[in-house]
Amino acid sequence: MAVRLRPTAQMPSRPPADAKRPPMAASKPLTRLTLRQLRYFVEIAHSRSFSRAAEQLAVAQPALSQNIAALEAELGARLFERHPKGVDLSPEGHRLYQRATELLGGFDGLRELVAGREARPAGRVRLCLDASLAGVLIAPTLRAVETRYPEIELAISYGLSFEARMQVESGRSDLALMPSAAELEGIASLPLFEERFLLFGAYAAMRRAPRQIPFAELARRPLAAPDRAHDLRKVIERAASAAELALDVRYELNSAALLLGVVKEGLAWTILPDSACVDAVAAKAVAGRPIVDPELSRVQALVWLQGRPLTPAALAVRDAVVDLVAALVREGRLRGRLIDTAHKKT
Protein backbone atom coordinates (compact mmCIF):
# COMPACT_ATOMS: atom_id res chain seq x y z
CA MET A 1 0.00 0.00 0.00
CA ALA A 2 1.47 3.35 -1.07
CA VAL A 3 1.47 6.14 1.50
CA ARG A 4 2.11 9.70 0.40
CA LEU A 5 3.76 11.94 2.98
CA ARG A 6 3.83 15.71 2.83
CA PRO A 7 7.40 17.11 2.92
CA THR A 8 8.42 18.25 6.39
CA ALA A 9 9.23 21.74 5.15
CA GLN A 10 5.59 22.30 4.26
CA MET A 11 4.14 21.07 7.56
CA PRO A 12 2.59 23.99 9.49
CA SER A 13 4.27 24.75 12.75
CA ARG A 14 2.22 24.79 15.99
CA PRO A 15 1.67 28.33 17.27
CA PRO A 16 3.01 29.25 20.69
CA ALA A 17 0.67 28.56 23.58
CA ASP A 18 0.40 32.26 24.42
CA ALA A 19 -0.32 33.31 20.85
CA LYS A 20 -3.61 35.14 20.38
CA ARG A 21 -6.21 33.18 18.44
CA PRO A 22 -8.35 34.96 15.87
CA PRO A 23 -11.84 35.62 17.21
CA MET A 24 -14.51 33.08 16.20
CA ALA A 25 -17.12 34.38 13.83
CA ALA A 26 -20.29 35.17 15.78
CA SER A 27 -23.71 34.38 14.37
CA LYS A 28 -25.63 37.41 13.25
CA PRO A 29 -28.10 38.51 15.96
CA LEU A 30 -31.79 38.71 15.04
CA THR A 31 -32.32 42.44 15.36
CA ARG A 32 -35.49 42.96 13.36
CA LEU A 33 -37.60 39.92 14.25
CA THR A 34 -40.91 40.83 15.94
CA LEU A 35 -43.68 38.99 17.76
CA ARG A 36 -46.10 40.35 15.19
CA GLN A 37 -44.17 38.59 12.44
CA LEU A 38 -44.24 35.33 14.39
CA ARG A 39 -48.00 35.63 14.98
CA TYR A 40 -48.55 36.31 11.29
CA PHE A 41 -46.32 33.35 10.37
CA VAL A 42 -48.22 30.94 12.67
CA GLU A 43 -51.62 32.09 11.38
CA ILE A 44 -50.55 31.56 7.76
CA ALA A 45 -49.23 28.12 8.71
CA HIS A 46 -52.65 27.33 10.19
CA SER A 47 -54.68 28.77 7.33
CA ARG A 48 -52.35 27.60 4.55
CA SER A 49 -53.33 30.76 2.72
CA PHE A 50 -52.19 34.39 2.89
CA SER A 51 -55.67 35.66 2.06
CA ARG A 52 -57.42 33.54 4.72
CA ALA A 53 -54.79 34.49 7.29
CA ALA A 54 -55.24 38.18 6.46
CA GLU A 55 -58.99 37.77 6.99
CA GLN A 56 -58.52 36.01 10.34
CA LEU A 57 -55.99 38.60 11.54
CA ALA A 58 -58.02 41.56 10.20
CA VAL A 59 -54.99 43.00 8.39
CA ALA A 60 -54.44 43.95 4.77
CA GLN A 61 -52.85 41.18 2.74
CA PRO A 62 -50.01 43.41 1.42
CA ALA A 63 -49.04 44.24 5.02
CA LEU A 64 -49.09 40.54 5.89
CA SER A 65 -46.90 39.69 2.90
CA GLN A 66 -44.44 42.47 3.78
CA ASN A 67 -44.07 41.20 7.33
CA ILE A 68 -43.42 37.64 6.17
CA ALA A 69 -40.94 38.86 3.56
CA ALA A 70 -39.11 40.77 6.30
CA LEU A 71 -39.13 37.69 8.53
CA GLU A 72 -37.73 35.50 5.75
CA ALA A 73 -35.03 38.10 5.02
CA GLU A 74 -34.10 38.29 8.70
CA LEU A 75 -33.86 34.49 9.02
CA GLY A 76 -32.28 34.02 5.62
CA ALA A 77 -34.72 31.28 4.63
CA ARG A 78 -37.90 30.82 2.64
CA LEU A 79 -40.60 29.74 5.11
CA PHE A 80 -43.43 28.90 2.72
CA GLU A 81 -43.75 27.06 -0.56
CA ARG A 82 -46.34 28.73 -2.78
CA HIS A 83 -48.71 26.80 -5.03
CA PRO A 84 -52.00 27.61 -6.84
CA LYS A 85 -54.19 26.45 -3.92
CA GLY A 86 -52.31 28.31 -1.19
CA VAL A 87 -49.07 27.69 0.70
CA ASP A 88 -47.33 24.92 2.62
CA LEU A 89 -44.52 25.19 5.13
CA SER A 90 -41.05 24.71 3.69
CA PRO A 91 -38.60 22.46 5.60
CA GLU A 92 -37.24 25.61 7.27
CA GLY A 93 -40.79 26.74 8.02
CA HIS A 94 -41.57 23.42 9.71
CA ARG A 95 -38.54 23.87 11.95
CA LEU A 96 -39.61 27.39 12.87
CA TYR A 97 -43.28 26.55 13.43
CA GLN A 98 -42.95 24.48 16.59
CA ARG A 99 -40.47 26.91 18.16
CA ALA A 100 -42.63 29.90 17.20
CA THR A 101 -45.72 28.42 18.86
CA GLU A 102 -43.67 27.72 22.01
CA LEU A 103 -42.32 31.27 22.05
CA LEU A 104 -45.75 32.82 21.54
CA GLY A 105 -47.24 30.57 24.21
CA GLY A 106 -44.51 31.63 26.63
CA PHE A 107 -45.00 35.29 25.83
CA ASP A 108 -48.76 35.03 26.30
CA GLY A 109 -48.12 33.48 29.73
CA LEU A 110 -45.92 36.31 31.00
CA ARG A 111 -48.79 37.98 32.86
CA GLU A 112 -49.44 34.79 34.84
CA LEU A 113 -45.71 34.34 35.45
CA VAL A 114 -45.27 37.86 36.86
CA ALA A 115 -48.37 37.44 39.04
CA GLY A 116 -47.01 34.14 40.36
CA ARG A 117 -49.73 32.07 38.71
CA GLU A 118 -49.32 29.02 36.52
CA ALA A 119 -49.43 29.97 32.84
CA ARG A 120 -52.72 28.99 31.18
CA PRO A 121 -53.23 28.14 27.50
CA ALA A 122 -54.26 31.19 25.51
CA GLY A 123 -55.06 32.08 21.92
CA ARG A 124 -57.58 31.34 19.21
CA VAL A 125 -58.64 27.77 18.40
CA ARG A 126 -60.97 26.77 15.55
CA LEU A 127 -63.03 23.63 16.00
CA CYS A 128 -65.33 22.10 13.37
CA LEU A 129 -68.07 19.67 14.45
CA ASP A 130 -69.82 17.06 12.34
CA ALA A 131 -73.32 18.42 11.71
CA SER A 132 -74.99 15.38 13.29
CA LEU A 133 -73.30 16.16 16.63
CA ALA A 134 -73.41 19.94 16.58
CA GLY A 135 -76.80 20.33 18.23
CA VAL A 136 -75.73 18.26 21.24
CA LEU A 137 -72.14 19.50 21.53
CA ILE A 138 -71.92 23.22 20.70
CA ALA A 139 -73.23 24.68 23.97
CA PRO A 140 -71.49 22.19 26.33
CA THR A 141 -68.20 22.63 24.44
CA LEU A 142 -68.29 26.41 24.66
CA ARG A 143 -69.16 26.21 28.36
CA ALA A 144 -66.42 23.67 29.14
CA VAL A 145 -63.66 25.60 27.37
CA GLU A 146 -64.75 28.94 28.81
CA THR A 147 -64.74 27.47 32.33
CA ARG A 148 -61.43 25.63 32.10
CA TYR A 149 -59.50 27.95 29.80
CA PRO A 150 -60.85 31.52 29.92
CA GLU A 151 -57.86 32.80 27.93
CA ILE A 152 -58.76 30.66 24.90
CA GLU A 153 -60.96 32.13 22.18
CA LEU A 154 -62.89 29.19 20.74
CA ALA A 155 -64.51 29.51 17.30
CA ILE A 156 -66.87 26.62 16.41
CA SER A 157 -68.22 25.78 12.98
CA TYR A 158 -70.09 22.71 11.74
CA GLY A 159 -70.68 20.88 8.49
CA LEU A 160 -70.93 17.55 6.75
CA SER A 161 -68.06 15.11 7.21
CA PHE A 162 -66.33 16.03 3.93
CA GLU A 163 -66.67 19.72 4.84
CA ALA A 164 -65.07 19.09 8.25
CA ARG A 165 -62.19 17.26 6.52
CA MET A 166 -61.67 20.15 4.11
CA GLN A 167 -61.67 22.61 7.03
CA VAL A 168 -58.75 20.75 8.62
CA GLU A 169 -56.85 20.12 5.38
CA SER A 170 -57.08 23.78 4.36
CA GLY A 171 -56.05 25.04 7.81
CA ARG A 172 -59.35 26.82 8.41
CA SER A 173 -59.88 24.60 11.46
CA ASP A 174 -57.27 23.40 13.95
CA LEU A 175 -59.43 20.47 15.06
CA ALA A 176 -62.52 18.67 13.84
CA LEU A 177 -64.82 16.08 15.36
CA MET A 178 -65.93 13.86 12.49
CA PRO A 179 -66.63 10.23 11.48
CA SER A 180 -64.50 7.67 9.63
CA ALA A 181 -61.27 9.58 10.21
CA ALA A 182 -59.12 6.43 9.99
CA GLU A 183 -59.72 6.37 6.22
CA LEU A 184 -58.12 9.79 5.65
CA GLU A 185 -54.50 10.33 4.60
CA GLY A 186 -52.38 13.06 6.16
CA ILE A 187 -54.77 13.38 9.11
CA ALA A 188 -53.99 12.44 12.72
CA SER A 189 -56.97 11.17 14.69
CA LEU A 190 -58.06 10.29 18.20
CA PRO A 191 -61.14 7.97 18.19
CA LEU A 192 -63.71 8.96 20.83
CA PHE A 193 -66.84 6.84 20.54
CA GLU A 194 -68.74 4.47 18.27
CA GLU A 195 -72.33 5.42 17.44
CA ARG A 196 -75.04 3.12 16.07
CA PHE A 197 -77.50 3.98 13.33
CA LEU A 198 -81.23 3.61 13.83
CA LEU A 199 -84.15 3.55 11.42
CA PHE A 200 -86.41 6.56 12.07
CA GLY A 201 -90.01 6.87 11.00
CA ALA A 202 -93.03 9.00 11.81
CA TYR A 203 -93.92 8.56 15.48
CA ALA A 204 -97.32 6.91 14.91
CA ALA A 205 -96.01 4.53 12.24
CA MET A 206 -92.95 3.53 14.26
CA ARG A 207 -95.07 2.64 17.30
CA ARG A 208 -96.33 -0.36 15.32
CA ALA A 209 -92.84 -1.45 14.25
CA PRO A 210 -90.89 -4.27 15.98
CA ARG A 211 -88.26 -3.38 18.61
CA GLN A 212 -85.46 -4.11 16.13
CA ILE A 213 -85.41 -3.78 12.35
CA PRO A 214 -83.46 -6.32 10.25
CA PHE A 215 -81.34 -4.58 7.63
CA ALA A 216 -83.05 -6.59 4.86
CA GLU A 217 -86.33 -4.91 5.82
CA LEU A 218 -84.95 -1.53 4.69
CA ALA A 219 -85.16 -2.63 1.04
CA ARG A 220 -88.94 -2.74 1.37
CA ARG A 221 -89.32 0.82 2.69
CA PRO A 222 -89.00 4.17 0.85
CA LEU A 223 -85.94 5.95 2.23
CA ALA A 224 -84.63 9.48 2.53
CA ALA A 225 -80.84 9.69 2.75
CA PRO A 226 -77.89 12.01 2.08
CA ASP A 227 -76.22 11.88 -1.32
CA ARG A 228 -73.43 9.42 -2.09
CA ALA A 229 -70.65 11.84 -1.10
CA HIS A 230 -71.87 11.79 2.51
CA ASP A 231 -70.18 9.45 5.03
CA LEU A 232 -73.53 8.19 6.35
CA ARG A 233 -74.68 7.19 2.86
CA LYS A 234 -71.40 5.35 2.27
CA VAL A 235 -71.96 3.26 5.41
CA ILE A 236 -75.48 2.37 4.25
CA GLU A 237 -74.45 1.56 0.69
CA ARG A 238 -71.56 -0.66 1.80
CA ALA A 239 -73.94 -2.70 3.97
CA ALA A 240 -76.49 -2.93 1.13
CA SER A 241 -73.82 -4.07 -1.32
CA ALA A 242 -72.56 -6.74 1.09
CA ALA A 243 -76.12 -8.01 1.56
CA GLU A 244 -76.84 -7.76 -2.20
CA LEU A 245 -79.83 -5.50 -1.54
CA ALA A 246 -81.13 -2.62 -3.67
CA LEU A 247 -82.38 0.26 -1.51
CA ASP A 248 -85.27 2.49 -2.56
CA VAL A 249 -83.83 5.97 -1.89
CA ARG A 250 -86.64 8.36 -2.88
CA TYR A 251 -85.16 11.60 -1.51
CA GLU A 252 -81.54 12.75 -1.28
CA LEU A 253 -81.15 15.50 1.36
CA ASN A 254 -77.86 16.56 2.98
CA SER A 255 -79.34 17.77 6.24
CA ALA A 256 -80.65 15.87 9.26
CA ALA A 257 -83.33 18.53 9.74
CA LEU A 258 -84.57 18.09 6.16
CA LEU A 259 -84.45 14.31 6.39
CA LEU A 260 -86.50 14.39 9.58
CA GLY A 261 -88.95 16.84 7.99
CA VAL A 262 -89.68 14.30 5.25
CA VAL A 263 -89.95 11.50 7.82
CA LYS A 264 -92.36 13.44 10.08
CA GLU A 265 -94.74 13.82 7.13
CA GLY A 266 -94.71 10.07 6.52
CA LEU A 267 -93.13 10.38 3.07
CA ALA A 268 -90.16 8.12 3.84
CA TRP A 269 -88.01 6.51 6.52
CA THR A 270 -84.42 7.53 7.25
CA ILE A 271 -81.27 6.09 8.83
CA LEU A 272 -79.48 8.36 11.28
CA PRO A 273 -77.54 8.21 14.55
CA ASP A 274 -79.48 8.95 17.74
CA SER A 275 -77.55 12.18 18.37
CA ALA A 276 -78.97 13.79 15.23
CA CYS A 277 -82.59 13.22 16.29
CA VAL A 278 -82.71 14.14 19.98
CA ASP A 279 -85.14 17.06 19.66
CA ALA A 280 -87.44 15.34 17.15
CA VAL A 281 -87.66 12.24 19.35
CA ALA A 282 -88.31 14.33 22.47
CA ALA A 283 -91.14 16.11 20.64
CA LYS A 284 -92.58 12.71 19.61
CA ALA A 285 -92.42 13.73 15.96
CA VAL A 286 -90.33 10.66 15.06
CA ALA A 287 -89.22 7.44 16.73
CA GLY A 288 -86.29 5.14 16.05
CA ARG A 289 -85.50 1.44 16.15
CA PRO A 290 -82.06 -0.23 16.14
CA ILE A 291 -81.00 -1.87 12.88
CA VAL A 292 -79.70 -5.45 13.19
CA ASP A 293 -78.31 -8.22 10.98
CA PRO A 294 -76.02 -6.36 10.52
CA GLU A 295 -75.79 -3.41 12.89
CA LEU A 296 -74.70 -0.15 11.29
CA SER A 297 -72.22 2.04 13.13
CA ARG A 298 -69.35 4.48 12.71
CA VAL A 299 -66.56 5.94 14.87
CA GLN A 300 -66.45 9.63 15.71
CA ALA A 301 -62.91 10.98 16.19
CA LEU A 302 -61.06 14.21 16.82
CA VAL A 303 -58.74 14.99 13.91
CA TRP A 304 -55.98 17.46 13.09
CA LEU A 305 -53.39 17.88 10.37
CA GLN A 306 -50.61 15.32 10.63
CA GLY A 307 -47.07 16.63 10.92
CA ARG A 308 -48.13 20.03 12.24
CA PRO A 309 -47.92 20.24 16.05
CA LEU A 310 -50.97 21.57 17.84
CA THR A 311 -50.55 24.78 19.81
CA PRO A 312 -50.89 24.57 23.62
CA ALA A 313 -54.35 26.14 23.27
CA ALA A 314 -55.44 23.59 20.65
CA LEU A 315 -54.11 20.75 22.82
CA ALA A 316 -56.13 22.11 25.74
CA VAL A 317 -59.31 22.25 23.62
CA ARG A 318 -58.66 18.73 22.32
CA ASP A 319 -58.40 17.35 25.85
CA ALA A 320 -61.49 19.31 26.98
CA VAL A 321 -63.54 17.82 24.12
CA VAL A 322 -62.31 14.30 24.94
CA ASP A 323 -63.42 14.69 28.56
CA LEU A 324 -66.73 16.30 27.56
CA VAL A 325 -67.65 13.59 25.05
CA ALA A 326 -66.87 10.89 27.63
CA ALA A 327 -69.14 12.61 30.17
CA LEU A 328 -71.99 13.03 27.67
CA VAL A 329 -71.80 9.39 26.59
CA ARG A 330 -71.88 8.23 30.21
CA GLU A 331 -74.87 10.50 30.90
CA GLY A 332 -76.70 9.16 27.85
CA ARG A 333 -76.86 12.55 26.11
CA LEU A 334 -74.65 11.09 23.38
CA ARG A 335 -75.58 7.53 22.46
CA GLY A 336 -72.63 5.29 21.78
CA ARG A 337 -69.74 3.21 23.10
CA LEU A 338 -66.65 4.96 24.41
CA ILE A 339 -63.32 3.96 22.86
CA ASP A 340 -60.40 3.49 25.27
CA THR A 341 -57.90 5.30 23.04
CA ALA A 342 -59.76 8.52 23.73
CA HIS A 343 -58.00 8.71 27.09
CA LYS A 344 -54.50 8.38 25.62
CA LYS A 345 -54.13 12.11 25.01
CA THR A 346 -50.52 12.23 23.91
Q: How many other C-beta atoms can be found within 10 angstroms of the C-beta atom of residue 254?
A: 18
Into how many domains does the chain fold? 3
> Would you say residue 276 lies in a domain?
yes
Q: What CATH code is carried by the domain that includes residue 128?
A: 3.40.190.10
Both 220 and 89 in a single domain? no
Residue 83 lies in a domain: yes
**Is the per-residue pLDDT at 25 higher than 80?**
no
Q: Count of CB atoms within 10 A of residue 184's CB? A: 17
- Are both 40 and 92 inside the same structural domain? yes
Domain assignment of residue 4, yes or no: no
Residues 58 and 203 in one domain: no
Residue 6's Cβ-side half-sphere holds a number of Cα atoms within 13 Å equal to 4
| Same domain for 182 and 324 | yes
**More confident call, 56 vs 214:** 214
216, 235: one domain: yes
CATH code of the domain in which 215 resides: 3.40.190.290
Q: What is the pLDDT of residue 6?
A: 37
Domain of residue 86, CATH code: 1.10.10.10
Same domain, 203 and 291: yes
The verdict on 271 and 325 lying in the same domain is: no
Q: Which domain holds residue 247?
A: 194-298
DSSP labels, 143-166? HHHHHH-TTEEEEEEEE-HHHHHH
Answer whether residue 27 shows pLDDT above 60: no
Write the pLDDT tens digit of every residue in 281-304: 989 999 999 999 999 999 999 999
pLDDT tens digits for 183-220? 778 889 999 999 999 999 999 988 888 999 999 999 99
One domain, residues 324 and 274: no
Whether 182 and 230 map to the same domain: the answer is no
Mean pLDDT of the chain: 84
What's this model's pTM, rounded to 2 decimal places?
A: 0.70
In this structure, the answer to whether residues 218 and 74 fall within a common structural domain is: no
β-sheet bridge partners, residue 302: 177, 190
pLDDT of residue 329 exceeding 90: yes
Residues 310, 183, single domain; the answer is: yes
